[in-house]
Amino acid sequence: MNAKLAWRNLWRNRRRTLITGASIMFAVFFAVLIQSMNRGSHEYMIDNMARFHTGFIQLQDSRFESEPSLDNVFEMDDALFERIAETHPNISFLVPRLETFMLAASEQQTRGAYVMGIEADLEHQLNGLKDHLKSGRFFTPGEGAVVMGEGLAGRLDVAVGDTLVLLGQGRFGTTAAGKFPIAGLVKHPMFEMNDQMVYMSLPDLQWVVSAEGMITTLLVTPERVRDTDVVAASVRESMTENGEFTVKTWPELMPELLQAIEFDMASAYVMSAILYIVIAFGLFGTILMMTLERVREFGVLLSIGMKRPSLSLVLFLESLLIGVIGVLAGCFISFLVVFYFYHHPIPLTGDLAAAIMDFGFEPILPFYLSGSLFLEQAVIVLLLSTLICLYPIIRVFRMDVLQASKA
Amino acid sequence: MNQAIIQTDRLTKIYNPDTVPVHALRDVSLSFEQGEFTSVVGPSGSGKTTLLNMIGGLDKPTSGSVMIDGVSITGMKDRELIDFRLKNIGFVFQHYNLIPVFTARENVSFIMLLQKRDKAEMMERTEKLLQQVGLRERMDARPKQLSGGQQQRVAVARALASRPKFILADEPTANLDSASAMNLLDIMEKMNREENVTFIFSTHDQRVIDRARRVITMVDGAVESDIATDQKSQTA
């Protein structure tokens, strides 16, 4: 009966209820849209950054974090691959890397270089590296050739077909040096990487640095970016128990990116907060009017024997129902829009598109779609409704029955 | 008539005692028995509504006490009073005060719902009461769809629904036309005679006064006269 009373009270002034519900609906719609665009862009950014740089999850030798040298590599074999792949069903594939710093020299110049031994096909699967090839071709394993960043090639004044000299320290203090023909040049999407990157086939680099069969990091790629934490937890649980390995996720490996995203998210939260403050006042206005115009009715209800908690429950339900109507409508229309743009991201044009393409990324505005997006808005509105209905509830508890029934 | 169900003892109510004191009631001692059909009359400001509010537990006296069926309600806490009113007192208001979003049937059964009565009993009693007040055909109408007289008859049915010890009716005919007022009085009188329901009215309406079997006249917060029209007279 309380619910029936609340529901019918809501429709005593149909227009007012519809206007309030609509204001909540639009607030939820815009809040979902803002959050979806933000999270979509961030996920896209993380996806691109992680794929070209650290990967989403890295497995390293446990000593590598404190001493990232070739002395702290680990052996890569099929058994290890299988063991990791079985830790979580959402692992998509694994990418081995052997990374070290060396001096890269041409006839005229010498520069520091970040040399990465890769399995080119797996690396391409991770980040589409081969699509960033600007000239030449990719090497084949055992060929002893390198592919380097355009920026570094420019600094060293070398081109495809020239020879690059690499000099550095191998495993356990051995000297690692060699001459390598330049098979191709890539335009790496990250500027600093473009200026120092040298790719070599994994077996070739393993031979150069005397670390045959060894890798520094194994990238674990989840099905989706948002699976990172859950996959990392599973890998961590099964691979770190004897202290041999350590597992890192992209926020630990790129804390500056996380900070930038958090800063950007803060502005989205401020926008959403403004939206919600506006609708909170709208909802409060409606509840205030619904309370003030019924003071006498409340007095009568209390006179005939309705208990104050029961009356408060009716008022709470009224506030809650308006919120629920607005949230459901808002979630429904925002779902339709977000669902469409999730599958058809907005293409960017003009200078912004050009700048993004310069980074080697597709110029699109991607959207994020997840149940949590809608759930969060629902929880916020329901919390607001609860908070707002405190006013009539307090009023009912303080109400003088006689004065109220005369109002 | 039988034993007293309401007793007021030196009931006094002073509004604004610290600033401009207004004596709404002065030492009012009255007794009401089961089955009475009583009018409390007097000019505006004479204290009749205040007296009914005290008896109904809606207001607290400055001094004195009210006993209902041997229980003092004067010192009861708000929560106890609400519960007490629900179980013992029926109210009929001048402005009907039905719940506008409920139908006549729901308005009557609502009070039994508050009493947590059995659903079947609730349905049966609701229909019976609405039949008694002549509104069986309008059970599913909302207050807005009923005339003033019909609304007040629903209010009487609602007051009776909780099986109260007595019904307090504050100016029940004040907003009704003559025919509706007479019709309402017929119904209340019939309930009183046939089911021994106690009615206490505050009224200016001569038609109500003429039907009452006891008339209490108040002036300036005190009982000026208390006349039983069946010749058993009392004095203040």
Per-residue pLDDT 10s for chain A (407 aa) are 788 888 888 888 888 888 888 888 988 898 899 889 988 888 888 887 788 888 889 999 988 888 888 889 999 888 888 888 888 888 888 999 999 999 999 988 899 999 999 999 998 988 888 888 899 999 988 888 999 999 999 999 999 999 999 999 998 888 899 999 999 999 887 778 889 999 999 999 999 999 999 999 999 998 887 888 899 999 888 888 778 889 999 888 888 878 888 888 888 888 888 888 887 888 888 888 888 888 988 998 998 888 899 999 998 898 888 889 999 999 999 999 999 999 998 988 888 787 777 666 678 888 999 899 899 888 988 888 888 888 889 988 988 888 887 76
- Convert the pLDDT of each residue in B130-151 to its tens digit: 998 888 889 999 999 999 889 9
Distance between CA atoms of A18 and A325, rounded to whole angstroms?
9
The answer to which of A187-201, B98-112, B117-131, B220-234 has the lowest mean pLDDT is B220-234
DSSP SS3 for A218: strand
Distance between CA atoms of A242 and A269, rounded to whole angstroms?
42
Tokens read off for A254: 């790129």
- Convert the pLDDT of each residue in B149-199 to its tens digit: 899 999 989 998 988 889 999 988 888 888 888 888 898 898 888 888 899
Dihedral of CA B189/B190/B193/B196: which sign? negative
Q: Does A307 touch chain B (CB under 8 A)?
A: yes
Indicate if the pLDDT at residue B231 is higher than 70: no
Using a cut of 0.80, tell me whether the model's pTM lies above it: no
Residue B234 — pLDDT band, cuts 50, 70, 90? Answer: very low
Quick one: pLDDT at residue A200? 94
Q: Does B115 touch chain A (CB under 8 A)?
A: yes
CB-nearest partner of B58 from A9, A303, A310 = A303
Distance between CA atoms of A234 and A133, rounded to whole angstroms?
35
Distance between CA atoms of A258 and A262, rounded to whole angstroms?
6
CB-nearest partner of A302 from B82, B158, B162 = B82
Indicate if the pLDDT at residue B232 is higher than 50: no
Taking the domains of chain A in order of start, what are their residue ranges? 2-49+257-405, 63-239
Q: Report chain A residues whose CB lies below 8 A from the CB of B79.
A: 307-308
Burial of residue A370 (CB within 10 Å: 0-12, 13-18, 19+) is: middle
* Reported ipTM: 0.84
Residue type, B97: N
DSSP code of B165? S
A 374-403 residues with CB below 8 A of B? Answer: 401-402
DSSP code of A243? S
Output the DSSP codes for A322-387.
HHHHHHHHHHHHHHHHHHHHHHSPEEP-HHHHHHHHHTT---EE-----HHHHHHHHHHHHHHHHH
Size of interface A-B (CB pairs under 8 A): 58
| Distance from chain centroid for Cα B185 | 13
Nearest to B54 by CA among B183, B195, B218: B218
Please state, for a pLDDT cut of 70, what percent of chain B lies above it.
Answer: 96
Q: Do B58 and A405 touch (CB under 8 A)?
A: yes
Quick one: pLDDT at residue B2? 60
The answer to which of A280-294, B70-84, B118-132 has the lowest mean pLDDT is A280-294
- Taking chain B, what is the end-to-end CA distance rounded to the nearest angstrom? 20
Distance between CA atoms of B46 and B25, rounded to whole angstroms?
8
Quick one: pLDDT at residue A279? 79
Indicate if the pLDDT at residue B9 is higher than 70: yes
Q: Do A402 and B59 touch (CB under 8 A)?
A: yes
Quick one: pLDDT at residue A226? 80
